[in-house]
Structure 1
């Protein structure tokens, strides 16, 4: 067992989740948590613990690979543009290039249809433009 795995096992789900969210999403993830503070603070805890403290912290896939899967799934859903924006930024944070994200979204045309791919591509374009002006 590596030191990183031992350290991860000694942390609570909440601690692992907060660490992972910060690494993956940075301020964008924290903005979601902050926005829940006055309406559903318990839901923010659930977000830290389950997706980030349990799933993202698992061995087997890199954060980069997990973001490819997440971007594809959100684009295929076609109803999650705000979450897709956050995960496109997260993909960039964990090492995906704009070209790789674009290819993932184009791939969705085959399995989720052209509307889902187009919506995903336009969402990515918006994120890329926003990041280039910052």
Structure 2
């Protein structure tokens, strides 16, 4: 599990290589499944998905990976219409050391800013992920 700041960006490291490493570390199989699912319809979009969010943004120093996942879970919950992406990032949160309780608290916090319906949708997404997850993290780190 990686919850510290990513290492500084190496100038000889391609965005794609950096992105693939970050994607594997954060999302594991879930992220690669998304990339693979796009291969036959939009391979360029799959490359953009690896390079920009993961190769450029997630790989930046200055914010720990676990904190980036808190922000992502909060944002996707607040959107209210991104359940598949939210589920991938809830699993990613578990992968990088967030506890189930922390994830639930982040989602509940969004009721204040985006309403009860989005928080309910987020909590049900978390329930689905927790039921399927092999990560048994249950205490805050």
Please report the TM-score for the alignment, with normalisation by the length of structure 2: 0.88
Greater RCO, CA 8 A, separation 6+: 2
- Residue pairs, 1:104-123, within 5 angstroms: 104-123=106-125
Runs (5+) with no aligned partner, structure 1: none
2:52 aligned to 50, 53, 56, which one?
A: 50
CA RMSD after TM alignment: 1.0
Runs (5+) with no aligned partner, structure 2: 1-6, 135-141
1:32 aligned to 21, 27, 34, which one?
A: 34
Task: Figure out how many residues of one structure are paired with residues of the other and give that number.
Answer: 128
What is the Cα deviation at residue 131 of structure 1? 1.5
**Residue in structure 1 matched with residue 128 of structure 2 by the alignment:** 126
- Residue pairs, 1:88-107, within 5 angstroms: 88-107=90-109
